[in-house]
Amino acid sequence: MDRLFDLLVVGGGPAGLATAHAAARAGASVLLLHRDARIGLPIRTSGGSWLFHLRQLGIPDHLHHPIRSATFASPNVQATTRFVTDDYAVALDVTKTYEYLAGLATDAGAEVLTGSRFVRTEQLADESFRSIYSQGTREFTVRARFIVDASGSARAVTAPLGLQPRPTRYGVGAEYEYENLSPDLHHCLLLVGSQYFPAGYGWALPGPDGRIRVGVGVLQPDTKARPQPMLDDFMASELPRKLGLVTGRLIEKHFGVLPSETPNERAVFGRIVCVGDTAMQALPLIGEGIRYCIEAGRVAGAAIASAAREPDAAATHLATYERWWRKRYGYEFWLAWKMNVRIASFNDQQWDMVAKVMQGLSPSSIARGLRSEIRPLELASFAFRRPKLALTFGRALLGGALSR
Ligand SMILES: Cc1cc2nc3c(=O)[nH]c(=O)nc-3n(C[C@H](O)[C@H](O)[C@H](O)COP(=O)(O)OP(=O)(O)OC[C@H]3O[C@@H](n4cnc5c(N)ncnc54)[C@H](O)[C@@H]3O)c2cc1C
């Protein structure tokens, strides 16, 4: 007999782990399948996030490293911001954070199977799913009442069933992690414009354990440029030294892809629920996804546990998750998407203008801008102080977006 679970979660990234935790904590029986041999390895993300939001999610402080200041460097302008309040950026220890989330899930009673690849599923007459997964060359079957597709850009459950197409536009990133020998271990760089990279944008993000992650990301197929050769050229040039970036031994290389498309209308397909990158829950502006995936996973997991308890009202319970997402983040993600499409084709002059605008903003406005939490009052105040710059910037960044 196949084992029967309330919930099968596919993918052990932040979205799947948070979903498994929340569903198990609410009383559901949960099996999570994770393709890789270990949780949190290999690293496919930079791990930048925000202190305030991580604390709200209960992620302990020892899992991240504070970023106290940031320089936004365009070809001819540099805007440096010092974060003075608790609203500052941090760099997560990605592996330890994902292990922490896995610990929460298993402590709540979820079973987490690593080295286990979901292969396919079919829905049976009683509406449950019979799924096949593999461990090496061996295949196993398992039954579950609900499935969460948290497999990231793979969309391992929903794409083969034709519920969601595989993405066609991706953020593609390459990142090297070095010993950080820079004098300031809490300063990060954001680099834009052709002087640094012929396409995309770059970053230098100091992390825990005296390390720094230097990376570049591009949007494909908007550009054919590949991030790794650009990163190699950058690191071999004089530019890091000129920017005050001093790196020691190369420790690790990270590569990742992130779907970058119009925010999804739907995250629930009958008894199959999408969470995380599968549901386009990374903010399109700068590709920040981890904390959104954790939050969405917690809401989805609780809704699925309610649906498992009351199968006749399953659709109603699952709809609360979809509605919550739209209400909580619908506008911010829509705005971030509009800006993403515009900045993808910015030239050097436009990047200089962005840097000039940043020079006139407070640290908290910059932090909120990077999270697309743009407040009309702040915009009005900036427009009052710098009317010409505000108009040119608004046109470049938003175009006709706000009139729609
Ligand atoms: C280059 C880059 C830099 C980024 N930087 C940041 C950043 O600084 N801050 C931030 O917050 N976000 C960042 N992101 C985005 C963030 O990494 C994602 O939004 C987040 O990881 C999505 O989590 P997830 O759980 O949905 O998917 P993932 O983290 O992709 O996890 C899905 C997991 O599912 C597994 N899987 C896939 N197929 C199967 C299968 N068939 N069976 C079983 N398991 C399967 C995969 O192995 C994978 O580990 C970045 C992304 C990229 C690509």
125 and 152 co-located in one domain: yes
State the Cα–Cα distance between residues 55 and 322, nearest whole angstrom. Answer: 24
Give how far Cα 42 sits from Cα of 37, 92, 293, 350, Å. Answer: 9, 15, 18, 36
Predicted local confidence at residue 402, as pLDDT: 43
147 contacts 157 by C-beta, under 8 angstroms: yes
pLDDT mean across residues, the chain: 93
Question: How many Å apart are CA 277 and CA 292, to the nearest integer?
Answer: 10
Q: Is 94 in the pocket of ligand 1 (CB under 6 A)?
A: no
pLDDT at 401 over 70: no
Pocket lining: 227 vs ligand 1, CB cutoff 6 Å? no
Distance CA 284, CA 351 (A): 18
What's the pLDDT score for residue 20?
99
- Confidence at residue 404, expressed as pLDDT on a 0 to 100 scale: 37
Range in 203-207, 254-258, 356-360 the model is least confident about: 356-360
In tens, the pLDDT along 192-227 reads 999 999 999 999 999 999 999 999 999 999 999 999
Domain stop point among 203, 228, 259: 259
Residue 167 has pLDDT above 50, yes or no: yes
Q: Are residues 120 and 155 both part of a single domain? A: yes
Q: How confident is the model at residue 391 (pLDDT cuts 50, 70, 90)?
A: confident
Token code pair at residue 2: 């196949």
Residues 223 and 308 in one domain: no
Per residue in 73-102, pLDDT tens? 999 999 999 988 888 999 999 999 999 999
Q: Which domain holds residue 275?
A: 4-41+94-165+265-333
Least confident stretch, 117-126, 182-191, 216-225, 360-369: 360-369
Q: Which amino acid is at 253?
A: K
Distance between first and last Cα of the chain? 55
Tell whether ligand 1 has an atom less than 6 A from the beta carbon of residue 131: no
User: Does residue 332 have its Cβ closer than 6 Å to ligand 1?
Assistant: no
**Has residue 400 got a pLDDT over 70?**
no
- Residue nearest ligand 1's atom 17 by CA: 45
Collapsed DSSP state (helix, strand, coil) of residue 165:
coil
Q: pTM value?
A: 0.95
- Output phi, psi for 172, to 5 deg: -120, 125
Residue 403: the pLDDT is: 40
Atom of ligand 1 nearest to the CA of 17: 25
CATH code of the domain covering residue 208:
3.30.9.90
In single-letter form, the type of residue at position 108 comes to A
- What is 331-389 written as a DSSP string? HHHHHHHHHHHHHTT--HHHHHHHHHHHHTS-HHHHHHHHTT---HHHHHHHHHHSHHH
Q: Are residues 160 and 189 in the same domain?
A: no
